[in-house]
Structure 1
Amino acid sequence: MNEKAIYILNRMSVTINHCKKVPDRGFFYWLTVIFNRVDQERIRSVGPDRACAEWLLRNGASVRWKNVTQYLKDYNSLSSEKSQYYIQAVDATDSGVTHVGFPHFVGCRYIDEMKFVKCIYLYDHALPLLSAVKDTLTTLEIRDCKSITDQGVRSLKNLKNLKTLKLAGMPYLEDKALLRKELAEALPDCAIELK
């Protein structure tokens, strides 16, 4: 390798690793990004709730339809495309969801409960995208998502209809007391649990 190529590679390394405290995104993250891509044509074809459910199920999450008590976990158990269902709850425990797929939530008008537990590909820039469901979301749990920082948590302040917010297991939070105070001021009607 010539000196110029080495210099460029070293500069790229510095740029990519500027934030060493958040874990590196490996090969499987980039593969997961492919499975999270939004297909606008699919959304137009089957509607936002069906397309969102397909995305969530494809990435290991589960959904609960409005007026149904059981969660749907198996992609192959989706009803026909002609059936009209609306997502009311999302459980993304141990799923591969990333911010790339969060635009799927746009147009889902009945989601009032979301749970993100042990989502290893969930980073700060996903959380502001929850504003797509800010008018209906009342319960949010984010636990053991190791890459979330104070910046991501602060973006939850725009979810004004939240009644319950549970946050735990995020080792990169620097000032939990200050975050709790800020969230309480922004969301006065919300019961906040921050561990």
Structure 2
Amino acid sequence: MNIILLIFILIIYSLYIMNELQKLSGLLGTVNHCRKVPNRGFFYWLTIIFNRVNQERIQSVGPDRACAEWLLSNGASVKWKNFSQYLKDYNSLPPEKNQYYIQAVDATDSGITHIGFPYFVGCRYIDEIKLVRCFYLYNTALPLLSVVKDTLITLEIRDCKSITDQGIRSLKNLKNLKTLKLAGMPYLEDKASLRKELTEALPDCTIEFE
């Protein structure tokens, strides 16, 4: 059989399987409508692949460049230190020989997961992170922000539907926060208690909790 035809058939078959798995995932979601946190669909597992940490890449180009590549390839954007604009296009990354440092991360509508959070290790200038409508963000990601706790000043977590009380409590370790914005997390059980705990743990932080 012609190799091109064989590849085409495999692609069509793969798309069919993915479609059927999506349907099955939807049915399971209907059956399990009482689940506390939305079930992870097929595309979550596909997203895991794009979030895997490449240690060789980190060693080759440095933590900030490798972290930026991870974020941009998953739909997030970054702002370099001493720059005013966010970089959103992966193809607009500067040449590898140039040294830039990430100062801010905007992960709005991105596909980042906890699997990729080790990319933050070694990034010494990140002072702001926005996690808005991150569909694949679970509690396991938030404790990993501790690697930037010495520099992180502003954190926003909004409309990340799978975050629960456990994840929010892990933010108490971010002792240098000055601004914390939390909203749109329907599975939080006790906002009053969480607000009290955060206020006590982060006395110098302005907390907005909706």
The two structures share one fold, judged by TM-score above 0.5: yes
Structure 2 counterpart of 1:170, one-letter code = M
Does 1:176 find its partner at 2:191? Answer: yes
Task: Give the structure with the higher percent helix.
Answer: 2
Structure 2 counterpart of 1:37, one-letter code = R
Give 1 or 2 for the bigger CA radius of gyration.
2
SS state at 2:68 partner: helix
SS state at 2:155 partner: strand
Structure 1 counterpart of 2:126, one-letter code = I
- What displacement does 1:183 show? 0.1
- Residues paired across the two proteins, number: 179
Question: Which consecutive unaligned segments of at least 5 residues does structure 1 have?
Answer: 1-12
Q: 1:149-186 CA distances to partner (integer Å, 9 max, x unpaired)? A: 00000000000000000000000000000000000000
Does 1:116 find its partner at 2:131? Answer: yes
Aligned to 1:72: 87
Structure 2 counterpart of 1:47, one-letter code = G
Q: 1:120-140 CA distances to partner (integer Å, 9 max, x unpaired)? A: 000000000000100000000
Q: 1:20-58 CA distances to partner (integer Å, 9 max, x unpaired)? A: 211111111000000000000000000000000000000
User: How high is the sequence identity, in percent, across the aligned residues?
Assistant: 83
Aligned to 1:55: 70
Aligned to 2:112: 97
Measure the CA separation in 2 of the matches of 1:132 and 1:165.
Answer: 17
- What displacement does 1:92 show? 0.1
Aligned to 2:19: none
Aligned to 2:42: 27
SS state at 1:67 partner: coil
Aligned to 2:202: 187
- What displacement does 1:111 show? 0.1
1:128-167 maps to which residues of 2 (within 5 A)? 128-167=143-182
Measure the CA separation in 2 of the matches of 1:20 and 1:35.
Answer: 27
Q: 1:103-122 CA distances to partner (integer Å, 9 max, x unpaired)? A: 00000000000000000000
SS state at 1:22 partner: coil
TM-score (structure 2 length as normaliser): 0.84
Measure the CA separation in 1 of the matches of 2:172 and 2:153.
Answer: 13
Does 1:43 find its partner at 2:58? Answer: yes
SS state at 2:105 partner: strand
SS state at 1:100 partner: helix
Measure the CA separation in 2 of the matches of 1:61 and 1:157.
Answer: 25
Question: Which consecutive unaligned segments of at least 5 residues does structure 2 have?
Answer: 1-27
Measure the CA separation in 2 of the matches of 1:72 and 1:184.
Answer: 33
